[in-house]
Amino acid sequence: MAGNITLTIHHHGDRHTFAFPPDATISNLAEHIFSSLSIPQANQKFMITPRLGLLKFPFQNPLMPLTSLLNKKIVLLAPLPSELSALSEASAASKPRQRASPIKSATPARHRDWRKAQDEATYTIGTIVPLPYLPNPEKSRRFLERLSNDAGIKASMRKHKFSVGVLTEMNPAEHTTHESRTLGLNRNRGEAIELRLRTDAYDGYRDYKIIRKTLCHELAHNVFDEHDRNFWDLTKAIETEVEENDWRAGGHALTNQEFYNPDDSDVDGEHMDGGGWTGGEFVLGGNDTLTQGMATNGLGRRELMAQAAEERMKKHGDTSRRAGG
């Protein structure tokens, strides 16, 4: 029909093109995907680039016109209908079967918490970026991945619905003065968090729990910019949740020694940050020392997140097909 608008949706490596009247809304798009692809609205999330970011049902603005999505890339982050069916079957199979005998089993059937898994995929750290021009960047990557996978950090991020686009390390030389050292920075309320992993002499790494505490502080800047009473109350709550949900607390993982520096705790002149930093967009591939030696083609945080999310969905689909085949 004349005057219709056309949108292309990317899903699991496939492209789906749909036509809509010019007054159609994002809610109409969700309904059309349900009727065309058999994906319920509750399972639909759209990564829109550039700029709009992640939109999920029910939408904050259900009447947002589809004309605002023209000339943008739209990635549908949702399982295939076959995968949804497999999840339903797995959930049904996990329920204890009724028996004729009045004696009940003492051990409940084991099942995966799919809600928790979905929340962990949503409220998480998107991209890990070590500084490639500093020594041993792979060691820094392992450190950042350990923080990202920390059971306490993951539990607190789920509870507060925190998302972090980029987790990277801080170059000590760029954040050290005669008076102080900055331990972390949060740019644009979670767009990027930088952590001071290394010692000043670049000959070792700081204590893991001190850096994890810095991360708790920076996560609180996802909500509050200023260091006021609300900020400190939230920081304390996050620190408590991280400790309570650390299933390794009380143990001695061997990897603790890899990053431990015995002369690097409670050093005078250190401070977490100067408050949440707002302005511009954190860009990998721009004119910043973080980008030396990196090939990210100037992609912004949202583009990188969309790219990474699309790759994860593809890998998940390949794994499911291999398991089913």
Active site residues: 218
Residue type, position 155, single letter: A
Instruction: Please give the angle made by the CA atoms of 89, 92 and 94, to the nearest 5 degrees.
Output: 110
Task: Evaluate whether 247 touches 153 at the Cβ level (below 8 Å).
Answer: no
Q: How far apart are CA 293 and CA 290, in angstroms?
A: 9
| Token digits of residue 32 | 């059309």
Instruction: Please give the angle made by the CA atoms of 301, 184 and 245, to the nearest 5 degrees.
Output: 90
Beta-strand ranges (E) seen in 81-234 are 125-129, 164-169, 181-182, 184-187, 192-195
Instruction: Please give the angle made by the CA atoms of 173, 178 and 181, to the nearest 5 degrees.
Output: 55
For residue 225, give the 3-state DSSP assignment.
coil
Instruction: Give every CB contact of residue 174 below 8 A, 6+ residues apart in sequence.
Output: 289
| Token digits of residue 29 | 């798009």
Q: Nearest to residue 216, comparing CAs of 129, 307, 150, 310?
A: 150
Q: How far apart are CA 315 and CA 309, in angstroms?
A: 10
For residue 20, give the 3-state DSSP assignment.
strand
Q: How far apart are CA 194 and CA 148, in angstroms?
A: 13
Q: How far apart are CA 1 and CA 184, in angstroms?
A: 55
Length of the chain, in residues? 325
